[in-house]
Structure 1
Amino acid sequence: MLHCILSAASAGDVLPLTPDTLRKVGMPHHRMAAGPLPALPVGAGLFTDDGKEWLRVTGRVWLSGDPHAVPCPMLTALADIPVGEARLHVRKEGRSLAWITLSDKGSQGLRADGSGPAIAAAVGEALPLCHAQGFLLPDDAPALRALLTELALGQGYDVICTSGGTGVGPRDITPQTVAPLLDLELPGFAAAMMVESLKKTPHAAISRAVCGVLGPSIVITLPGSRKAVLENLAAVLPALPHALDKLHGDPADCGG
């Protein structure tokens, strides 16, 4: 349970939750009444005693402290929040999904992102999602490396999908950027996607897609086209819920 001092907020407002020691941050914020900030993964909800979800963790921000900056969860209000003290229960109902679309033209506003929304729709049919967020980057290895690390290790997303950059073009940097970050690979996921894709086109053999685990997250690298995204996801989505359960410590037998 969290003992918080809440600022007034309207539904949809996004404010940081700060520790009690960080009272002056130059913006409206909620803060802990006492003690350090707990680890709150993206998608976690803050509920009242009667079961109403007032706030949900939807990101993270670093705020300047004295002398060190502090990582603070960003809370989105799901209802109108009154100012005052509140004791809120924390629980996560569902899975969190991030997708990263890699596209030089898309990042410049020259091309609409068709693959990202397709990822959200397809994964949402396979998993109950408590939060989904898309990100758009150019084909830039340092930017992808930084964002992927933040989403997995900083914010605790359950599933992170990338779209684009899995081929052999001069700007295709996704597999060689993602692979060194992984704690362990999931070669069966990559193999299943390859088998399914080869049923559609021999060009699938060019793909260098990698899949694996980074912290609490399952990372899946996908092609750039909407059609190929859906074909590849169809191959691994049936195994994804069980894979997440096992990754997060489910002790049940796998063969049941």
Structure 2
Amino acid sequence: MIRVGIITASDKGAVGERKDTSGEVIRELVEKQGWKVVEYAVVPDERNKIEAIMIDWCDTYKVDLLLTTGGTGFSKRDVTPEATLHIGERLVPGIAEAMRYFSLQITKRAMLSRGVSVIRKNTLLINLPGSPKGAKENLEVIIDALEHGVNILKGEASECGYEVN
């Protein structure tokens, strides 16, 4: 079973001024896959706090998949990609590329997303947009491939050739 952590980066959400609907949407989608959400937090848009939680969940709690929502835009407080890149050990550019590619079919503003994906130890980390609609659409694009990627990280699957559709 894939163990999932969800971090919502939101100044207003962290102080209870906004309900975290994006995190709820992500939770619903991963649980529909049969995966288990084992860690969840709403934190302010502060790079050091985001990094500390990511490191703890990857290194101590050993989540298999860590999904973030929020903090990927152009605002000066949007620092989730920088936090993710700082603690990551290896890049996984294809995930962010796929999300932006498919999102561009829906809105030209998708090119403004700065979300990234990395690997830290045996955890795959992915930045999703902060809006519930954007988080849902982006996660739906990649979710089918994630189980195989996570299983490779965990040593439970081997590399394989491209799947022909």
TM-score band by shorter chain is over 0.9
CA deviation after TM superposition for structure 1 residue 177, in Å: 1.3
SS across alignment from 1:155: coil
- The residue that corresponds to 1:220 in the other structure is 126
Q: Sequence identity, in percent? A: 33
Higher helix share: 2
Query: RCO higher in 1 or 2 (8 Å CA, sep ≥ 6)?
Result: 2
SS across alignment from 2:155: coil
- The residue that corresponds to 1:154 in the other structure is 60
Structure whose alpha-carbon radius of gyration is higher:
1
Q: Give the unaligned 5+ runs of structure 1.
A: 1-93
SS across alignment from 2:52: helix
Question: How many Å separate the matches in 2 of 1:109 and 1:250?
Answer: 40
Aligned residues: 162
Matched ranges for 1:84-95 at <5 A = 94-95=1-2
**What letter is aligned with 2:127?**
T
Contact 2:148/2:157 (8 A) holds in 1: no
What is the TM-score of this pair, normalised by structure 1?
A: 0.61
- The residue that corresponds to 1:100 in the other structure is 7
Please point out which of 56, 61, 82 is paired with 1:176: 82
Matched ranges for 1:67-216 at <5 A = 94-126=1-33, 128-216=34-122
Question: How many Å separate the matches in 2 of 1:251 and 1:103?
Answer: 35
RMSD, aligned CA: 1.4
CA deviation after TM superposition for structure 1 residue 131, in Å: 4.2
What is the TM-score of this pair, normalised by structure 2?
A: 0.93
Any runs of at least 4 consecutive aligned residues in structure 1 with deviations exceeding 6 A, and if so which? none
Q: Give the unaligned 5+ runs of structure 2.
A: none
